[in-house]
Amino acid sequence: MFHKQSQFSSAHISGILKAAEAAARDIPPAFPLEATVAVNPFMGQTGEDLATASARLARVAGVRITRARSDYARAVAEGTITDEDLAEALAACPHINKPADLAALHAQLAIDSPTPRALPTVAHLAATATGTDWPALIDRCFGLWAAGYFDRGQALWTPAPGHSAFAGWREWATHDLTPEIAGLTGFCAHVASAPDTPERAILRASERLGLGEDVAEQVFHRLLMDIGGWSQHARWLLWQAELAGTTDSTITDLLAIRLVWEEALLELAPQASQPWVQTRAAHAAPLVPSPAQVVDAVLQEAAERAHQRGLSAAMTGLDVTNGRPEVQAAFCIDVRSEVFRRAFEAQDTAIDTIGFAGFFGLPLAHRPHGTDQTQIHLPVLLNPALTACSHAGPKAEEDARISARALRAWGRFRQAAVSSFAFVESAGPLYGWKLVKGALGLDGVKAAKSPAPQIEGGLTAEQKADIGAKVLTAMSMTKHHAPLVLLLGHGASVTNNPHESAYHCGACAGQTGEMSARMLAILLNDPETRAGLPEHGITVAEDVLFVAGLHDTTTDEITLYDDCPAKSHKDRLEQTRRWLKAAGAQARAERALRLPGATAQSVTARAANWAELRPEWGLAGCAAFIAAPRGVTRHADLQGRAFLHSYDWQDDAGFATLELILTAPVVVASWISLQYYGSSVAPHAFGGGNKLIHNVVGGIGVVQGNGGVLRPGLPWQSIHDGEALAHEPLRLSVMIEAPTEAISDILQKHPDVQALFDNGWLHLFALEGGKVAARYRPGRVWDGAALQAKAA
Amino acid sequence: MTTLLPLGHLAPLLVLAVATLGFARPGRRPAYVPQLAEAAALGALALAALGAVQLGMGSAQTIGTGAFSLRMDAASATMTLLVAFVGWVVVRYSRSYLDGEAQEGRFHGLMLIALAAVLVLVQSGSLPVLIGSFIAIGVALRQLLLFYDDRAEARRAATKFTLVWGAGDAALVLAALCLWQAFGTVDVVALGTVAQGGLPLAGHLAAGLLVLAAALKTASFPLHGWLTEVMEAPTPVSALLHAGIINAGGFLLIRMADVVQASPGALAALVMLGGFTALFGAMVMLTQSAVKTALAWSTVSQMGFMLLQCGLGLWTLALLHIVAHSLYKAHAFLASGGAVRAVVGINRPGPIAVPGLGAVARAFLLALAIYAVVALGFGAVAGTKSAQALALGAILIFGVAYLVAQGLADAAPRALTQRTALASLAAAVAYFALHVAAGALWGPHLPAPPVPGALEWALIVLALASFGLIAIAQALFPLWAHHPATAGLRVHIANGLYLNAVLDRLIGGLSTHRHAGRKA
């Protein structure tokens, strides 16, 4: 069969393989649930705008990536979206097939846009031809194999390690009789005789399926979407490999596997050939959004402009405070902090808060107590540069490991074939008590006590001062420190929730912010650090104490860590704890209004309830990112919907910090906002499915019900309260208090970031004196005059 | 006191009353329904507990006459208490879990109906009541499996369930007719008494049909497929099914123990079917990477083991197994969201120490030594055991040997060896103690194991040999699991030997005509 392929020109071969590579990059990575972070589901489409991506994803995934037309119509009828919003959105739309005028757009509001249908795969065509649901069979067979192949420790009997996905699957599929029993006669032999490398399998299948270079990428994208989260998990493997400077071909292997199925089904159902020719033609047609898709994109933009109107109104100017605060508290920029910061500041005028990404700029990997493994604690765009270790003494470490291993041996005793009977007969009755504890939430929320972290290998005095100075500069905290500075990471206490890490800190790669905060506080209290800071132009008064803490976003309780005890600050700390406690109560009361069935008093209990599917709302509702001094937002109630990053451009020599903000936190925030967006508007393709029937698989993710495709993204219950969406799907509005030229210069240096703004995946505004001064338009154009005219 | 109505009988009524409220307010966030559902379940638990106290102070009794009667004795009091307890936990769980679902009220109604039906079943005093509750359970569970009826997978699972459950009901009806024909009564107590005098042909037929019904209802090989697909329903349904409903087949046998035991053929069938299902299910479980799927296979296997115990005539141990398994499995399902965290925990302490051949041999010797010491100790206190009980103890100790072996691996540190040895000893003591307790609690009300004849001895040896072999294979598992020679075996086992695929083909489960459309 290879001699046939050699008839192709090498250009054709490389064209098909390039299409496979491109299709892989059309897929967003899905991080395993062990430490998951939000990812932009449209990561492969950021080079296109919303309408064009709508057209593409309608073809390859059968999803609409805007809301239902009736949702927009309701917002217009209720006056949330005004005619002005509609007109502006229409004017900004670059597509020629958009409605001619506002009246035409209005007329469209009453018409439902057609439900998209994905172009069929051969499996779908064969199902129609033969009456057997082949796509369902593929889901099942592929899912069972993939669950075992990607398993990290759920099953005791997993496939032999060390095989590539394609080799592993070939071995599996040559033995698996399920397809043959279902009627796909000869499938095992078909697999056995398939080419033995994924590249050659792709080439052979492309030939048999008649795929030219013009349609290959789209057909491949379609097939990768068909296996859902499995391809996204494989894309994550590629992401990790590339971050480490290597590469990984698992996703190409999965494509090859799916193509082997297509080949076999085309052979089984020759009647599918004719419709397949038509399908290929449909794939080859130019990718132009339909008028309905353009209208939906305009309406989405109008909804975002409506939100921006409210946001602009809340930006009333800069409030300058004088005098030294008693307490400064640095929180993560996470939107959940906004509620708590407001509540905390409301306790006393002497309290000041700061927002910064929750890893506090420390590029840490962390080796926790009781293990030699490390986990990363920084945005997943970056590689760690330092390793912090929280090991206790050798005796305690040894004890922890022995306990864990004994527990593991007991777990294997429970799981293994014959011993499972002995387990049930000896230990089963104990579970009666465990059921009582679970039902009544008696275990509560246990905060694991970890020894204080230290940097492995130590740091020289110079390194300490260097790191300290860098972090303080990035945080815009170079002067006027309060005598007590809290560094507060965040994490969520939840029980029995597979998506636990999704509630933790995204900037800490799905871990809690505890380690980063503690490490930084220890570093900044270190006399060697303090002695070296003045050389970097930073003065921290001698009486300043940094104290690390963790904000529990389910309970709004704050744990402060006593890593650097200081008697001098005892009273101030006592007072601060009282303020934090009062602020927690206030924040809970505010959050209870949004949580179904909650009261201010019952919010805390959600953390320990093993049946609670909505312990808290995570970042649902996120809609804005504001980089400015706190004085700009201090008096605004942003309803827990804004990322607040402290930034003072006047202290930012050369705009290095601004560049950091635009390329790291803004990008991470866009991933979060677009994950919420994608999970809300296209839950079937990008959402995590229904939590009530989740089935944890392989330790990496969930499937629904019996098995099938992996479901990355946010579960429906995380964005919907049962009656309505808890997250209004809006693309993020970024507002930055900085000169427009400086912003433009940075965008020019980072075309990937500029593409996010140019294609409308993010909106950008410049603030001046705490008020919106200019709106960014594609191509680094600033529209200031119009805004100012409107304000006047 | 004994003249009073056993309070346990009131439990299903209370639960049913609130169930109607669920159907009156079937929708989202129905006012008071979730709270009242939990209150009803808790009330049922209180009644079951009071009923048990009543029984302790008085004696077993049957209420009603002839075809329609309820029975309260040691076995039914135990089961009522168990079901009511699991029911309360599950209904309380559903209160939070189902919040905001479009059919929230209806869900609570269905769960309560299923719960009431199981409560009646375990207190039934006659075959018609037993059969009626089986049918009611089938109807309620089918609706619960179809809770998301837009999912083709759910519809497939419901079809399979109805088929197998219905076949079980049919077998049971036939068994009842045979017994009626043979003895002229359908009262379970009366049947037990007359069966002790030997069975006529129709009686043997009935025993066979009872075994068939139990096998179908406990998802025994080869029609286990329905149980491994019902994760399509919300988690609390799985918990109730695996902890409350699946046991009903076992309870059926225990209730009819005298009839079944009077038929050596029925017992032999139970030993072979149960023993094979136990090992088969356990092997498949090893290969499943999805938590609920692995748990479902574990239930198939555990129910097989329970049937094996019935087949050996170890009725008290079968009842103990039902109780212990229910509590474990209810918890395992309800807490299955912790699987991600569990996997992290497994990988944290580093690589697993793999025991070699020598370590495994030592482990088995050590385990047998533990067995000898503990069995002698308990023997001195609680009297001698039957051959069947001793054989079962040996099977269980094979399992403990695996725990010992893990601690004896060459790479295992001494402290770990000590911990696993201690855990092994504790496990051995615990289950012997539980055996003694079970014997004391239920022994007087259930038949003793038959004196083994040639057939029984053959079966005992067969069971010992096959469980022993698998136990050794399991202890040596890391040495062969990844060998290329076993790769194909793993595929076949992971697919459950394709029985489900064959069933799907036979009933057209994958037909596009029956299940039009495909949903993500």
Q: Residues A280-291: pLDDT tens digits? A: 999 999 999 999
Residues in chain B: 520
Reply yes or no on whether the pLDDT at A1 is more than 80: no
Is A490 labeled as ligand-binding? yes
Is A332 labeled as ligand-binding? yes
Residue of B nearest to A419 (CA): B399
Q: What is the mean pLDDT of chain A?
A: 94
Q: Given this model, what pLDDT does residue A253 score?
A: 98
- Which among A68, A227, A205 is positioned nearest to A138, based on CA atoms? A227
Put simply, whether A749 touches B (Cβ < 8 Å) is no
Q: Which residues are A702's β-sheet partners?
A: A696
Q: Which three-class secondary structure state does DSSP give residue A625?
A: strand
Contact indicator for B163, B227 with CB cutoff of 8 Å = no
Q: How would you list the strands of the sheet with A763-768, edge to edge?
A: A642-646, A624-628, A733-737, A763-768, A771-777, A781-783
Q: In chain B, which among 331-360 make CB contacts under 8 A with chain A?
A: 331-332, 334-350, 352-353
In this predicted model, what pLDDT tens digit does every residue of A191-214 receive, in sequence order? 999 999 999 999 999 999 999 999
In this predicted model, what pLDDT tens digit does every residue of B360-377 receive, in sequence order? 899 999 888 988 888 888
Mutate which: A124, A169, A232, A426, vs B, most B CBs within 10 A: A426
Give B356 or B109, the one with higher predicted confidence.
B109
Put simply, whether A94 touches B (Cβ < 8 Å) is no
Q: How far apart are CA A475 and CA A455, in angstroms?
A: 21
Contact indicator for B446, B396 with CB cutoff of 8 Å = no
Reply yes or no on whether the pLDDT at A67 is more than 90: yes
* Tokens 């069969």 sit on residue: A1
- Partner residue facing B495 (CB), from A176, A410, A597: A176
Q: How far apart are CA B470 and CA B408, in angstroms?
A: 19
User: For residue B245, which phi and psi values (nearest 5 degrees)?
Assistant: -90, -40
Residue of A nearest to B494 (CA): A144
Q: Averaged over A454-480, what is the pLDDT?
A: 93
Torsion sign across C-alpha atoms B254, B255, B258, B260: negative
* Tokens 């041996």 sit on residue: A409
Put simply, whether A270 touches B (Cβ < 8 Å) is no
In this predicted model, what pLDDT tens digit does every residue of A84-141 receive, in sequence order? 999 999 999 999 999 999 999 999 999 999 999 999 999 999 999 999 999 999 999 9
Put simply, whether A743 touches B (Cβ < 8 Å) is no
- C-alpha distance from A409 to closest chain B C-alpha (Å): 7
Reply yes or no on whether the pLDDT at B327 is more than 70: yes
Q: Given this model, what pLDDT does residue B63 score?
A: 87
Least confident interval from A112-126, A171-185, A692-706, B52-66: B52-66
Q: How far apart are CA A249 and CA A255, in angstroms?
A: 10
In this predicted model, what pLDDT tens digit does every residue of B202-248 receive, in sequence order? 999 999 999 999 999 999 999 998 999 889 999 999 999 999 899 99
Is B336's CB within 8 Å of A696's CB?
Answer: yes
Q: In chain A, which among 488-517 make CB contacts under 8 A with chain B?
A: 496-498, 500-501
Q: Given this model, what pLDDT does residue A709 score?
A: 94
- Which among A119, A309, A167, A80 is positioned nearest to A775, based on CA atoms? A309
Q: Which residues contact B517 (CB under 8 A, 6 or more apart)?
A: B152
Q: Averaged over B126-152, what is the pLDDT?
A: 96
Q: How far apart are CA A773 and CA A755, in angstroms?
A: 22
CA atoms within 13 A of residue A154's CA, in its CB half-sphere: 30
In this predicted model, what pLDDT tens digit does every residue of A355-396 receive, in sequence order? 999 999 999 999 999 999 999 999 998 899 999 999 998 999
- C-alpha distance from A411 to closest chain B C-alpha (Å): 9
Q: Given this model, what pLDDT does residue A670 score?
A: 97
Instruction: Quickly state the pLDDT bin for A231 (edges 50, 70, 90).
Output: very high
- Partner residue facing A421 (CB), from B152, B305, B345: B305
CA atoms within 13 A of residue B82's CA, in its CB half-sphere: 33
Residues of chain A positioned with their CB less than 8 A from the CB of B328: 423-424, 427-428, 431
Residues of chain A positioned with their CB less than 8 A from the CB of B516: none
CB atoms within 10 A of CB A749: 12
What is the DSSP code string of B204-218?
A: HHHHHHHHHHHHHHT
CB atoms within 10 A of CB A457: 8
Q: Given this model, what pLDDT does residue B438 score?
A: 92
Is B232's CB within 8 Å of A705's CB?
Answer: yes
- C-alpha distance from B347 to closest chain A C-alpha (Å): 8
Mutate which: B333, B340, B360, vs A, most A CBs within 10 A: B340
Angle at A78 between CA A74 and CA A79, to 5 degrees: 115
Pairing of strands A557-560, A624-628: unpaired
The DSSP code for A411 is H
Q: Averaged over B252-260, what is the pLDDT?
A: 95
CB atoms within 10 A of CB A214: 12
Is B502's CB within 8 Å of A181's CB?
Answer: yes
Q: Averaged over A266-270, what is the pLDDT?
A: 96
In this predicted model, what pLDDT tens digit does every residue of A713-759 receive, in sequence order? 999 999 999 999 999 999 999 999 999 999 999 999 999 999 999 99
- Write down the domain spans for chain B: 9-334, 350-481
Reply yes or no on whether the pLDDT at B330 is more than 70: yes
- C-alpha distance from B393 to closest chain A C-alpha (Å): 9
Q: Given this model, what pLDDT does residue A788 score?
A: 60
Reply yes or no on whether the pLDDT at A673 is more than 60: yes
Reply yes or no on whether the pLDDT at A2 is more than 60: no
Q: Averaged over A145-165, what is the pLDDT?
A: 93
Q: Averaged over A277-305, what is the pLDDT?
A: 96
Burial A46-78 (b: 16+ CB within 10 A, else e): bebbbbbbbbbbbbbbbbbbbbebebbbebbee
Instruction: Please count the helices (runs of H) and the strands (runs of E) in chain B.
Output: 22, 2
Put simply, whether A128 touches B (Cβ < 8 Å) is yes
Put simply, whether B362 touches A (Cβ < 8 Å) is no
Q: How far apart are CA A86 and CA A102, in angstroms?
A: 7
Q: Given this model, what pLDDT does residue B515 score?
A: 46
- Partner residue facing B343 (CB), from A154, A228, A410: A154
Q: Given this model, what pLDDT does residue A653 score?
A: 87
- ipTM score here? 0.95
In this predicted model, what pLDDT tens digit does every residue of A563-592 receive, in sequence order? 998 899 999 999 999 999 999 999 999 999
What is the DSSP code string of A648-703?
A: -GGG-GGGHHHHHHHHTHHHHHHHHHHHHHHHHH-HHHHS-B-GGGEEEETTTEEE
Q: Which residues contact A368 (CB under 8 A, 6 or more apart)?
A: A375, A390, A450, B348
Q: How would you list the strands of the sheet with A484-491, edge to edge?
A: A351-356, A327-332, A484-491, A545-552, A557-560
Residues of chain B positioned with their CB less than 8 A from the CB of A154: 288-291, 294, 339, 343
Q: Given this model, what pLDDT does residue B3 score?
A: 58
Least confident interval from A16-25, A132-141, A219-228, A415-424: A415-424
Q: Averaged over B2-22, what is the pLDDT?
A: 89
Q: Which residues are B380's β-sheet partners?
A: none
pTM of the model: 0.95
Q: Averaged over A225-250, what is the pLDDT?
A: 95
Q: How far apart are CA B225 and CA B161, in angstroms?
A: 8
Q: How far apart are CA B304 and CA B291, in angstroms?
A: 20
Instruction: Quickly state the pLDDT bin for A295 (edges 50, 70, 90).
Output: very high
Contact indicator for A41, A713 with CB cutoff of 8 Å = yes
- Which among B408, B413, B409 is positioned nearest to A397, based on CA atoms? B413
Q: In chain A, which among 226-255 make CB contacts under 8 A with chain B?
A: 228
Q: How far apart are CA A543 and CA A538, in angstroms?
A: 15
Give me the total of CB pairs closer than 8 Å, taking one residue from chain A and one from chain B.
382
User: For residue A444, which phi and psi values (nearest 5 degrees)?
Assistant: 60, -155
Put simply, whether A446 touches B (Cβ < 8 Å) is no
Residue B372, judged by CB atoms within 10 A of its CB (0-12, 13-18, 19+), counts as: exposed
Is A611's CB within 8 Å of B97's CB?
Answer: yes
Q: Given this model, what pLDDT does residue A789 score?
A: 56
Mutate which: B156, B289, B514, vs A, most A CBs within 10 A: B289
Q: How far apart are CA B480 and CA B354, in angstroms?
A: 12
CA B505 vs. chain centroid, Å, equals 28
CB atoms within 10 A of CB B377: 12
Is B229's CB within 8 Å of A706's CB?
Answer: yes
In this predicted model, what pLDDT tens digit does every residue of B259-303 receive, in sequence order? 999 999 999 999 999 999 999 999 999 999 999 999 999 999 999
Instruction: Quickly state the pLDDT bin for A791 (edges 50, 70, 90).
Output: low
Residues of chain B positioned with their CB less than 8 A from the CB of A148: 287, 289, 494
Contact indicator for B259, B127 with CB cutoff of 8 Å = no
Q: Given this model, what pLDDT does residue B1 score?
A: 41
Instruction: Quickly state the pLDDT bin for B519 (edges 50, 70, 90).
Output: very low
Residues of chain A positioned with their CB less than 8 A from the CB of B152: 133, 136
Q: How far apart are CA B381 and CA B389, in angstroms?
A: 16
